[in-house]
Structure 1
Amino acid sequence: MLAPREVTLGNILRQLIAQTPKLPTTLKGLTALIRTKPQRQRSIGLLLEELAAQQPEHIAVRYESITYSYGELNQRANQLAHYLSSQQVRSGDAVGIMLENRPETLIAVLATVKLGAIAAMMNTSQRGEVLLHSINLVTPKLMICGEEVLEHMSTVESQLPVHLATQLYYWRDHGHADKPAHYQDIETLMMQQPDNNPATTRQVKMHQPCYYIFTSGTTGLPKASVMSHYRWHKSMAGMGLASMKLTKHDTLFVSLPLYHNNALTVSLAAVLGAGGCIAIARKFSVRRFWDDARRHQATAFCYIGELCRYLLNHPPQDNDRDHNIRVIVGNGLRPDIWMAFKQRFGIDHINEFYGASECNLVFTNAFNLDKTAGVCPLPYRVVAFDIDADAPKRGDDGYMSRVDRGETGLLITAVNDKQPFEGYTDAKATEKKLLRDVFQPGDCWFNTGDLVIDQGFRHIAFADRTGDTFRWKGENVATTEVESILMEFPGVEHAVVYGVEVPHCDGRAGMASLTLKGDDSAFNWGSLTRHLKEKLPAYAIPVFIRLRPQEQVTGTFKYRKVELKEEAYHLDKVDGGVHWLAAKADSYRPLTSSDEQQLEQGSVAL
């Protein structure tokens, strides 16, 4: 079942009554949210220092068999902050941080922000041109690299900015390897520093940047989005306290990479806001996930949608509900698996939210409703969108118009002093995301690039990315809906849907790339065809399907569609062949060179 078109007042009232016992935590979050002001002298580092003073022995971090108390975490961050300061790292400078998930990553981040500097969170899967591009985007004062990424760094070292030649730092990983000659041992150097709180921390204001978070790069080279202490604190108050309702007794398990906002902003903010514990896994593992959650006695975890699908696809176990998880937080959980996931694993609250790295507001499922990205009290609109033009529609008067409740449109968010858009490090990229003169002369709105369903009562449900939705036979095709139907079919593990151009045809024909659970040769194409015809309108059924042993994904499980769209159905570009469905055909069949030639000539009906 897809996302419900409307949220009702009755749904909300029932959940409000059920949440009455947690009202004090909610009020604490709302109070903190009201007190969050851009010019206030308040920061992530200051919050850590306060927690270290209030509860120094309370466990702040769990990793494998290692624990850090709040006192210890603050002391290590202080030592590194003092060393970075000795290397002339100042407020506004960027510090490149490239480590996999481990406590040292958090220490590096916290030390950096204590100075008013900016933690540039490098994607640990990047190498070569993409990694060099990311480094050059933020021009870091120095780089802190884990032993585990040195091979990736070796692909760019000869092309790094000159000043970084003497500012490369190495953080040992389990003591397995010797320090490379051109790196300095950051751990040895920091341990020689005092562990008192640096004076700089109290000078940092909320409006200052704290992180650079890189976009996933699914449609090209990554951009560096800016995260401020202000937005981080809003996430802490609004999501961690008011919506998730965490307390100091909670442990939030993080298996997403710490360079992802769901881990570094949403999860870390929720934990520090409550004075709780963050438990981190080196990497996500389907096989170890629940065992790790149990070992750390986690009561919450963060996700992105595909993580939940991987867990759901894993064979059921007798102990699937043997855990302490009561709330999960993340985005991208598809409606087609929402209830199945919730029921199989016994999750009380799926705190789905909407908010890209660069977005200036967040929707959060504070009322614990099903199949919604949640509610947002800040100014936004869902406006009519022209799929063919790939742009919002404007009327004869030049202005945009809102869609009705239950309809799908483009989500845009107001940009003003109270709701600033922090954008990217690239000013041109920032300006491209802004829409002007939308409802009146001079107004400014952020274009999220996302199509959503206006569910009413200030709730939305994600529908599709604007670049992914396409038109075929005069109708709009939402790729997420088709992907969900494909993955309902037995034997299909992953499905990626996109539109491809076919000569002599208007719009784009649907194409799917599938990864199967079993042997490709045993796949029943006739049954798949019948399944799709039963579940989808004719225009939404993919015309072409290719099989791949695995889908290309980013480090945060987002599908890469750029190459798929370029390769399309062309047999000279696609490994493993293509199946296609001609008009009125009963089943998909292999595409031959003769078929492709007829498609190019426009002599085949689709």
Structure 2
Amino acid sequence: RGVCQRRRAPGKERSQLEREALGFREGGTGMFASGWNQTVPTEEAGSMAALLLLPLLLLLPLLLLLKLPLWPQLRWLPADLAFALRALRCKRALRARALAAAAADPESPEGGCSLAWRLAELARQRPAHTFLIHGSRRFSYSEAERESNRAARAFLRALGWDGGPGGSDSGAGSAGEGERAAPGAGDAAAGSGAGLTGGNGAARGGGAAALLAPGATVALLLPAGPDFLWLWFGLAKAGLRTAFVPTALRRGPLLHCLRSCGARALVLAPEFLESLEPDLPALRGMGLHLWAAGPGTHPAGISDLMAEVSAEVDGPVPGYLSSPQSITDTCLYIFTSGTTGLPKAARISHLKILQCQGFYQLCGVHQEDVIYLALPLYHMSGSLLGVVGCLGIGATVVLKSKFSAGQFWEDCQQHRVTVFQYIGELCRYLVNQPLSKAEHGHKVRLAVGSGLRPDTWERFVRRFGPLQVLETYGLTEGNVATINYTGQQGAVGRASWLYKLIFPFSLIRYDVTIGEPIRDPRGHCVATSPGEPGLLVAPVSQQSPFLGYAGGPELAQGKLLKDVFRPGDVFFNTGDLLVCDDQGFLRFHDRTGDTFRWKGENVATTEVAEVFEALDFLQEVNVYGVTVPGHEGRAGMAALVLRPPHSLDLMQLYTHVSENLPPYARPRFLRLQESLATTETFKQQKVRMAEEGFDPSTLSDPLYVLDQAAGAYLPLTPTRYSALLAGDLRI
């Protein structure tokens, strides 16, 4: 599906996209009505909500008098209604943008993919407004548009683009003297009129072979910074797919990622060249074209891409080059974190890019806000929610290449930050910092993110407030998301009827021993009751798709459940267990693979970790299950990091654990570490830790074992380890 094919019959193509944007009836509710998994059109949802709300409001006085069990949920009705209305407004705004793009001239930048037309729109509407702050450098929206245009033209030149009819370089941009003649420009008017050739990848003029084929995938191995954004946006405008490669990957995992997404070129940071030197022969052997994103002494065959970009003109790029044939076409690959094996390349569609433009609007962020982003851009939270979400509202983003807890509040003061996006343990790092003057008098009013544990939540707000924490839940490859718009501490969202009307999902009973949902005699899944952990699933449809991963279909095995509530239905399996309480609040319980069984009981690692974290001498805790010879199931083990300057108090720890956890949930082993093993996105490495086990002869960290007879945690010496294996030490 080349760029030349996208340009054929613009009128026909626009008609198809416009039908999708309008939500044509044949296919359901259209790309917009699906938005964030909506199953009914926006206007119908609003009317239905109003009709259902009216009788409830009339019955409200009676419910208050009778104190019926329904009241715990109804007390949150105003907040539920306010968020539902915000979501509907967001959908309408995005739908209007999609309709405008579908009706735009294919030759104009507004006729391109969602990233291209949104950038062009902001450059026109807010040209001087600051989009990006990186260190001492600032870029306005008009500058972002021009820089990405240069990048797009450099990639188009690698494709052998001749400018095409009506889109030649001669009339575009403002570079003037710096303009270079496109290959084959003399033949632009000849031939079939397509801007690019087909599958053979040769430029029209001169016979020079193009470096890339239309629709190829280009991988970025770059730190967070302006160049990352300009190249990503440029690839999108050129109709090429981008793959975000985690920057720590080398050797086998790196080659695996590049192969799995079918990359044909790799752009790498010059500072990574030394560590990548052993990989260069394998990369060349894969046939990859290698670019360095900056000057320097590069090995043979690696050219400076940014020099090529700077030599290009910065004029608009025709929209037809990036306009997708379908809104569900893959435009991006983001790799999973690899906590349970090698990373998988999740397919990201144009639809998801469009949906993420509404993220910050759903969170109540405005275009005059300043957003602090210190997350890796190869992660969905950094790129799609952080950057694309910022584009969605036209705000300013302060981008940091690396998070620094010691520098955070000074940065917030300097740039007048109002919104902070977090992930995983960033808030924990902040509350563990010494007191500083910069943490007072800041402008931060909202922290948005995921993975904030309840104990850290309370400490964070008490120390740095007043500010609101908005916890969210979602998966890179998933089709469901939740937002805790009420700010209820410890919750990741709400399961109100209004929310599920717009973003449908269900919690179903799950058997952790066999790793499968529990089904009734008819073969259907069973919904959970309030307070009962359940597997989070969401319906899959044309409007709420699961695109899977690049590679074989076996990679998505287990991600789709069939015949969940009725024959033939299909649901996405998140792999996460959540609990819905009697007020409708959703709380994360555990990953299905992390919950383990011991002594015939299920043990949730998150619940055990929360008990440990209540001890003031512990800073971080990672709970997981380990296999013990001669025992069924897995015994609990906790990796601990002490909070300076405290020492480990084994007596207090044992007393606390005994008082707050049932016998089966008490970890049998402890491992004291200087720091916890995490991924680059701050997710704890449970699988690796479980594989390392508890053998004192192979681990250098201090180890402890729960001695039931002594009623204490004791050092796990080689003698005790041998006694345990022999069955003489009862655990």
Q: TM-score, normalised by structure 2?
A: 0.77
Does residue 216 of structure 1 match 2:341? no
Does 326-335 or 585-594 show the bigger shift? 585-594
Q: Whole-Å Cα distance in 2 between the matches of residues 594 and 602 of structure 1? A: 12
1:391 counterpart residue number: 516
Letter in 1 for 2:548: G
1:417 corresponds, among 524, 538, 542, to: 542
Letter in 1 for 2:360: G
Does residue 378 of structure 1 match 2:513? no
1:71 counterpart residue number: 142
Does 52-61 or 569-578 show the bigger shift? 569-578
1:563 counterpart residue number: 688
Listed one character per residue, the Cα deviations across residues 557-604 of structure 1 (whole Å, up to 9, x for unaligned) are: 111122211221122222134201122433211112232222223333
2:708 counterpart residue number: 583
Shift in Å, 1:272? 0.7
Q: Does structure 1 conserve the Cα–Cα contact (< 8 Å) formed by 2:409 and 2:438?
A: no
Does 566-575 or 156-165 show the bigger shift? 156-165
1:290-439 alignment runs, 5 A limit? 290-375=409-494, 376=499, 377-426=502-551, 427-439=553-565
Change (3 A) 1:458 1:518: closer
Letter in 2 for 1:473: K
Listed one character per residue, the Cα deviations across residues 483-531 of structure 1 (whole Å, up to 9, x for unaligned) are: 12222212222111111122332321100111223479x4221111112
Shift in Å, 1:383? 0.8
Q: Whole-Å Cα distance in 1 between the matches of residues 381 and 626 of structure 2? A: 32
Listed one character per residue, the Cα deviations across residues 332-386 of structure 1 (whole Å, up to 9, x for unaligned) are: 1112222221221115322211111111121112333332212453222111111
Shift in Å, 1:10? 5.2
Q: Does structure 1 conserve the Cα–Cα contact (< 8 Å) formed by 2:410 and 2:438?
A: no
Does residue 504 of structure 1 match 2:568? no
Q: Does structure 2 conserve the Cα–Cα contact (< 8 Å) formed by 1:48 and 1:70?
A: yes
Listed one character per residue, the Cα deviations across residues 116-162 of structure 1 (whole Å, up to 9, x for unaligned) are: 32220010111111111111111222111112222333232111254
Change (3 A) 1:276 1:7: farther
Q: Does structure 2 conserve the Cα–Cα contact (< 8 Å) formed by 1:353 and 1:365?
A: yes
2:233 counterpart residue number: 110
Q: Does structure 2 conserve the Cα–Cα contact (< 8 Å) formed by 1:36 and 1:233?
A: no
Q: Whole-Å Cα distance in 2 between the matches of residues 456 and 74 of structure 1? A: 49
Q: Whole-Å Cα distance in 1 between the matches of residues 300 and 694 of structure 2? A: 49
2:293 corresponds, among 167, 171, 182, to: 171
Shift in Å, 1:547? 1.2
Q: Whole-Å Cα distance in 2 between the matches of residues 485 and 72 of structure 1? A: 50
Q: Does structure 1 conserve the Cα–Cα contact (< 8 Å) formed by 2:447 and 2:469?
A: yes
Letter in 2 for 1:127: R
Letter in 2 for 1:402: A
Q: Does structure 2 conserve the Cα–Cα contact (< 8 Å) formed by 1:486 and 1:495?
A: yes
SS of the residue corresponding to residue 498 of structure 1 reads strand
2:76 corresponds, among 12, 21, 30, to: 12
Shift in Å, 1:60? 0.6
1:112-261 alignment runs, 5 A limit? 112-160=235-283, 162=285, 164-165=287-288, 167-172=289-294, 177-199=296-318, 200=320, 203-204=323-324, 206-237=327-358, 239-241=359-361, 243-261=362-380
Listed one character per residue, the Cα deviations across residues 20-74 of structure 1 (whole Å, up to 9, x for unaligned) are: 9xx9976642423555879967511210111011111111100000001111111
Letter in 2 for 1:203: S
Q: Does structure 1 conserve the Cα–Cα contact (< 8 Å) formed by 2:237 and 2:317?
A: yes
Letter in 1 for 2:293: W
Q: Whole-Å Cα distance in 2 between the matches of residues 596 and 447 of structure 1? A: 39
Change (3 A) 1:224 1:289: same
Does 566-575 or 43-52 show the bigger shift? 566-575
2:650 counterpart residue number: 525
Identity %: 33
Change (3 A) 1:26 1:430: closer
1:3 counterpart residue number: none
Q: Does structure 1 conserve the Cα–Cα contact (< 8 Å) formed by 2:239 and 2:322?
A: no
Q: Does structure 2 conserve the Cα–Cα contact (< 8 Å) formed by 1:43 and 1:206?
A: no
Q: Does structure 2 conserve the Cα–Cα contact (< 8 Å) formed by 1:226 and 1:358?
A: yes
Letter in 1 for 2:76: I
SS of the residue corresponding to residue 439 of structure 2 reads coil
Listed one character per residue, the Cα deviations across residues 273-312 of structure 1 (whole Å, up to 9, x for unaligned) are: 1111111011011111111222222111211131111111
Q: Does structure 2 conserve the Cα–Cα contact (< 8 Å) formed by 1:327 and 1:347?
A: no
Letter in 2 for 1:355: G
Give the number of equivalent residue pairs: 591
Does 198-207 or 403-412 show the bigger shift? 198-207
Does residue 466 of structure 1 match 2:592? yes
Q: Does structure 2 conserve the Cα–Cα contact (< 8 Å) formed by 1:36 and 1:230?
A: no
Q: Whole-Å Cα distance in 2 between the matches of residues 555 and 233 of structure 1? A: 26
1:440 counterpart residue number: 566
Shift in Å, 1:91? 5.4
Structure 2: gaps of 5 or more residues: 1-69, 103-111, 160-211
Letter in 1 for 2:351: Y
Give me the CA root mean square deviation: 2.5
Q: Whole-Å Cα distance in 2 between the matches of residues 151 and 488 of structure 1? A: 44
Change (3 A) 1:404 1:247: same
Letter in 1 for 2:340: T
2:93 counterpart residue number: 32
Listed one character per residue, the Cα deviations across residues 202-255 of structure 1 (whole Å, up to 9, x for unaligned) are: 623532323211111111110011112211221222x211x2222221111110
SS of the residue corresponding to residue 588 of structure 1 reads strand
1:48 corresponds, among 119, 136, 146, to: 119
Change (3 A) 1:476 1:272: same
Q: Does structure 2 conserve the Cα–Cα contact (< 8 Å) formed by 1:46 and 1:201?
A: no
Q: Whole-Å Cα distance in 2 between the matches of residues 189 and 62 of structure 1? A: 24
Q: Whole-Å Cα distance in 1 between the matches of residues 71 and 115 of structure 2? A: 35
Letter in 2 for 1:526: M
Q: Whole-Å Cα distance in 1 between the matches of residues 121 and 468 of structure 2? A: 30
Q: Does structure 2 conserve the Cα–Cα contact (< 8 Å) formed by 1:44 and 1:110?
A: yes
Letter in 2 for 1:333: L
Listed one character per residue, the Cα deviations across residues 407-461 of structure 1 (whole Å, up to 9, x for unaligned) are: 1111111111121101111222124311122222222111111011123676522
Q: Whole-Å Cα distance in 1 between the matches of residues 391 and 213 of structure 2? A: 24
Q: TM-score, normalised by structure 1?
A: 0.92
SS of the residue corresponding to residue 156 of structure 1 reads helix
